[in-house]
Structure 1
Amino acid sequence: MIMLTSVKILPKFMELGADDYLTKPFDDLELLKAIEIRLKKAELVQAQYGNDAAGAGAFLKDLSDKGIMQLDPVQYESEPFHKKAIIYAESRRPKYLYYIKSGKVKAFRVHENGKEYITNLYQPGDYMGHIPLIEGTNYEESAMVLEDAEIVMIPKDDFLNAIYNDLGIAAKFIALISKDVKEKESRLLNLAYDSLRKRVAKGLVDIHTRFAGNDKSLSISREDIAQYVGTATESLIRTLSDFKSEKLIEIKDGRIIITDIRKLSSLAY
C-alpha cells in the first residue's frame, strides 16, 4: 500500500500498515517509480524463498538486483578470520550483522563451571548475530571460527534500517529467528530425554548435513562434537568406537566419515 501524504501525518499512516509513501508535492514520475518498486516487492514476496539463511540471502540478493534495496552481502567487503578467532563475545554490544562467505563457525555459551555448550553451527550462506540486533540486547553467546573464514560485516544501522523499512526483509529474518528457536527447543528436548547414543547419532547427522566435505568426512574436533551433543569427550569417543564397530562410521587421519547415513539417521530419529 502506498500512501500519499504530508510529512506531519506520515507516522500515523506507517502505523496503519503503509509499506511506502510519497510526500506532497510529488510529480507523475515519482508516483510511477513508487508503483514500480511496490510491484517488484510484491513479486519478490510472492516468490518461494526458504525460511532459512539461504532463503534470506537469495531474497536480499534479488532485492539488490532489482534495485529495491541494497542489503545484499556482496555490496559489503568481507574480512578474513583465522581458525579460533573470536568474532563476537558474550555480553558485548552487537555492532554488525554477520554473513559467512566461506569457512565454518560455532556459537557457544560457557557454563559457570567452565564447560562450553555449542548452541549453533554456521556454514557459508548463513547469517549470524541478527537476534540481538533486533532485540537491542547484548550477545548471549560467543562465536568462534572453526575453519578459516571470510565474513561479511553489515553495519547495525544498515540492517535495522532495512528491516524497519521493508516488511519483506523483516519477514525473512523473523522466519530465521523462528527456525532458530525451533531448532534450539528441539535440541534441548534431545539433551534432556535422549540417550547418549541417540544424541551422538543426531549430532553426527546434523554436522554431516552442514559440514561434510567432498569426501564425506567431518572436519570438526571430537571436543566440539562433544560440546554440540552435550557430553564429555571421553563418552563421545566411546560412542564413536561403538558406531565404528557397527560400520556406521570410519575414522581416517582423525576425520570421521559416515559410511551409512541412512542407518545412522534411523538411530537419530
Structure 2
Amino acid sequence: MKTILLIEDNDLIRENTAELLELAGYTVLTAENGKIGVEQALATRPNLVICDIMMPVLDGYGVLHIFNQNPQLAGVPFIFLTAKTERADLRRGMELGADDYLTKPFDSNELLSAVAGRLSRFQHLRPDYDLAEGGLGEFLADARRVSNLASLATDRKPHQVPRRQFIYTEGDEPLRLYFVQAGRVKTSKTTAAGKELITGLYQADEFFGYQALLERLPYHDSAVAVEDSTLLYIPAEEFTDLLLRNADVSQQFIRLLAGRERQREQQLVEMAYHSLRRRIADALLQLHQPGGPPIQLAREDLAAVVGTAPESLSRTLSEFRQDGLIELTSGTIRVLQPERLRRSNW
C-alpha cells in the first residue's frame, strides 16, 4: 500500500482530502504545516507528497527545497496544492522540481488522477542502474516511459560524423548533449608528453557530453568518432530544463555519473595491478556484443583504453588468436570464445 504525506494548513481541506485518499486505498499521513510535514517524512518516507504552498512556519517551497537537499527524501514525487495561478508561482515550483500542481478547489477525479499518474510514472525507475551491465540502456528505456528523456532524441536531424572527426575538443564551451544513434565515439585527454588516455567509449543508445553541462564548465576532454557515426544533438537549455522539471531524471543522471566514476576507478585499479593479458581480455569482453558485429576499433585506440603500447597490444592479440579465442581481420576483432577468454586470464 502506497503512503501519501498530505501537508495542508486548512483543517477542512486536509481532513476531506485525507478521507478521499484513504477511501482510494492509500495510507495517509497528515501535517498542518511544512515543519511537521518534514518531520513526518523523515520518520516515515512517503511514496508521494501533496503539499500546500502558502502555509505558516514553513511554506511549500521550503518543504520541497528540504526534500531536494536531503538524500533520505530526494526523488519523492511532489504535488503542490495552490489557490494561486500566477505564472511566477508555477514557474518557481517547477524550477524547484515540483512534479505536478492541483489548483484549489479541485474535485475528487482531479486529485485521484494526479496521484495515480505520479505514482505510476515514478515506479518505473529503479534505485540504481549498473552501467557495467548495460544499465544506461535500461535507464533510457525506463526514462522514455516516465520522463520522455529519450524523446529529446526523437524527430531530430541526424548528423553524420565520419571516422576520426572531432565532435568537440578540450576547453570548448558545452552547447549540447549528444546521443549516439549509430557508431562509436571516444573521449580522451592528451598528457603533456603527448600520450592519449581514453576517458570513455560510447556506442549506440548512449548519451555523452552531459558531465560538462551539469558542471557548467568547459569540456575537460575531447570527443572524436572512432568509426563512421550518426549523432543527434540536443540543445543544452532543453537538457537543463528537463533536469530542473523532473527530479527523478536528475537523480538518475547523478547515479549514472557515479557509475561512470566507479568504472574509471576500476579501470585505474586494473591498470595498476592486473596483468597486461587480463587488461586486454577485459577490454575485448567489454566491447564484445554477443551475436553482433566484430569490434571495429583502431589498435592505437584499444591500446589507449588498456594503457599500453600498440606493439604490446599486438603481441597479446596474436597470442589470443593462436589460442583460438579471437579472430583478427583487417581493422576488426571478433571474440570467438568469450567464456574461455574470461577464464584464461584470472
Give the TM-score of the pair, scaled to structure 2: 0.68
Structure 2 Cα separation of the partners of residues 24 and 76 of structure 1: 39
2:117 counterpart of 1:40 = yes
Which piece of structure 1 moves more, 151-160 or 193-202? 151-160
Counterpart residue identity of residue 13, structure 1: V
Maintained 8 Å contact 1:96/1:155: yes
Maintained 8 Å contact 1:109/1:118: yes
Structure 2 Cα separation of the partners of residues 155 and 20 of structure 1: 28
Q: How is 1:10-25 mapped onto 2 (pairs within 5 angstroms)?
A: 11-17=61-67, 19-25=78-84
Counterpart residue identity of residue 46, structure 1: Q
2:240 counterpart of 1:160 = yes
Counterpart residue identity of residue 24, structure 1: A
2:274 counterpart of 1:194 = yes
Per the TM alignment, residue 189 of structure 1 is displaced from its structure 2 partner at its CA by 0.3
Q: How is 1:113-132 mapped onto 2 (pairs within 5 angstroms)?
A: 113-132=193-212
The secondary structure found in structure 2 opposite 1:105 is: strand
The secondary structure found in structure 1 opposite 2:288 is: helix
Residue 53 of structure 1 corresponds to which residue in structure 2?
Answer: 136
Q: How is 1:56-205 mapped onto 2 (pairs within 5 angstroms)?
A: 56-63=139-146, 72-205=152-285
Counterpart residue identity of residue 4, structure 1: D
Residue 298 of structure 2 corresponds to which residue in structure 1?
Answer: 221
The secondary structure found in structure 1 opposite 2:116 is: helix
Which piece of structure 1 moves more, 79-88 or 124-133? 79-88
Q: Percent identity?
A: 27
Per the TM alignment, residue 121 of structure 1 is displaced from its structure 2 partner at its CA by 1.0
Per the TM alignment, residue 232 of structure 1 is displaced from its structure 2 partner at its CA by 0.6
Structure 1 Cα separation of the partners of residues 236 and 186 of structure 2: 21
The secondary structure found in structure 2 opposite 1:84 is: coil
Structure 1 Cα separation of the partners of residues 65 and 343 of structure 2: 49
Aligned Cα RMSD in Å? 2.8
2:337 counterpart of 1:263 = no
Structure 1 Cα separation of the partners of residues 120 and 61 of structure 2: 26
2:322 counterpart of 1:245 = yes
User: Cα–Cα, structure 1 residues 154 and 27, in superposed 2: closer, same or farther, change >3 Å?
Assistant: same
The secondary structure found in structure 2 opposite 1:114 is: coil
Q: Any unmatched runs of 5+ in structure 1? A: none
Q: Deviations over 1:87-138 (max 9, x none)?
A: 2221222121211111111111111111111111111111111222112222
Per the TM alignment, residue 24 of structure 1 is displaced from its structure 2 partner at its CA by 2.0
User: Cα–Cα, structure 1 residues 10 and 61, in superposed 2: closer, same or farther, change >3 Å?
Assistant: same
Counterpart residue identity of residue 321, structure 2: K
Structure 1 Cα separation of the partners of residues 297 and 172 of structure 2: 27
If asked which structure has higher relative contact order (CA below 8 Å, sep 6+), I would say: 1
The secondary structure found in structure 2 opposite 1:171 is: helix
Structure 1 Cα separation of the partners of residues 210 and 319 of structure 2: 39
2:50 counterpart of 1:2 = yes
Structure 2 Cα separation of the partners of residues 125 and 239 of structure 1: 31
Maintained 8 Å contact 1:108/1:143: yes
Which piece of structure 1 moves more, 50-59 or 254-263? 50-59
Maintained 8 Å contact 1:78/1:152: yes
Which piece of structure 1 moves more, 131-140 or 183-192? 131-140
2:307 counterpart of 1:230 = yes
Maintained 8 Å contact 1:2/1:21: yes
Q: Any unmatched runs of 5+ in structure 2? A: 1-48, 68-76, 85-102, 130-134
Query: Greater CA radius of gyration, 1 or 2?
Result: 2
User: Cα–Cα, structure 1 residues 148 and 254, in superposed 2: closer, same or farther, change >3 Å?
Assistant: closer
Maintained 8 Å contact 1:71/1:162: no
The secondary structure found in structure 1 opposite 2:316 is: helix
Per the TM alignment, residue 32 of structure 1 is displaced from its structure 2 partner at its CA by 5.7
User: Cα–Cα, structure 1 residues 77 and 13, in superposed 2: closer, same or farther, change >3 Å?
Assistant: farther
Give the TM-score of the pair, scaled to structure 1: 0.86
